[in-house]
């Protein structure tokens, strides 16, 4: 099971219900635009939210499969670039949009905002060369290192980063204003 990007309102509800302390997070910021994806939080905050819901961050392999489908497409919607189908630098918005604003850009499995809007924290740690030695079936990422994998690109990303195959990374101990998350749950 997958969810679309977690909104600011979703994250505020989590804090209110659990009393979770997200250093630097201002609930008023979320009240101004509740349907925007939650961004600017730590990777551990994303993990805590997902665990609260009985879920987890998706692995990089899961994210890639969900974005690409079985045909290995370049973008969630197909193989041809179209800035109208995503919220990226080329789209001209230069800001976050409410979650689900571009349903025409859905992935083959119906997930929204896989490309652009907010890049997404993933469960895997990041190693640039990992896929050279990774198993072909459901690689679980390298061992513990400093950076976590980020996928999907954001509203500020150029087109070459808003693809199903480009990878990025970031220290999960720093909040980034263009990185959000979604949660996943194993079928079994």
- Give the model's confidence band at 88: pLDDT under 50 very low, under 70 low, under 90 confident, else very high: very high
Instruction: Give the pLDDT of residue 4.
Output: 87
Instruction: Give the pLDDT of residue 147.
Output: 76
Delimit the domains of the chain by residue range: 8-180
Residue 163 and residue 74 in contact, taking contact as beta carbons nearer than 8 Å: yes
Residues in the chain: 188
- Encoded tokens for 89: 């630098």
State yes or no: pLDDT of 106 exceeds 70: yes
CA distances from residue 21 to 24, 47, 63 in whole angstroms, order as listed: 9, 13, 28
Select from 3.90.1580.10, 3.40.50.300, 3.40.50.920, 3.40.50.2300 the CATH code of 8-180: 3.90.1580.10
Instruction: Give the pLDDT of residue 172.
Output: 63
pLDDT in tens, 53-80: 999 999 988 999 999 999 999 999 999 9
Q: Residue 26: is it exposed, middle or buried by C-beta count within 10 angstroms (0-12/13-18/19+)?
A: exposed
Q: Quote the percentage of the chain above a pLDDT of 90.
A: 61
Instruction: Give the pLDDT of residue 165.
Output: 85
């Amino acid at each position: 099971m997958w969810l679309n990007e977690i909104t600011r309102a979703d994250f505020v509800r989590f804090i209110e219900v659990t009393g979770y302390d997200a250093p630097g997070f201002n609930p008023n910021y979320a009240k101004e635009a509740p349907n925007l994806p939650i961004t600017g939080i730590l990777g551990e905050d994303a993990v805590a939210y997902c665990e609260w819901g009985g879920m987890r961050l998706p692995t990089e392999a899961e994210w890639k499969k969900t974005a690409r489908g079985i045909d290995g497409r370049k973008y969630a919607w197909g193989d041809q670039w179209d800035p109208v189908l995503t919220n990226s630098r080329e789209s001209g918005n230069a800001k976050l949009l409410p979650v689900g604003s571009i349903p025409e850009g859905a992935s083959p499995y119906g997930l929204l905002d896989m490309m652009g809007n907010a890049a997404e924290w993933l469960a895997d740690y990041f190693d640039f060369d990992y896929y050279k030695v990774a198993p072909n079936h459901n690689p679980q990422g390298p061992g513990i290192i400093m950076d976590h994998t980020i996928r999907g690109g954001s509203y500020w990303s150029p087109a070459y980063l808003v693809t199903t195959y480009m990878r990025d990374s970031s220290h999960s101990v720093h909040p980034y204003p263009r990185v959000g998350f979604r949660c996943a749950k194993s079928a079994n």
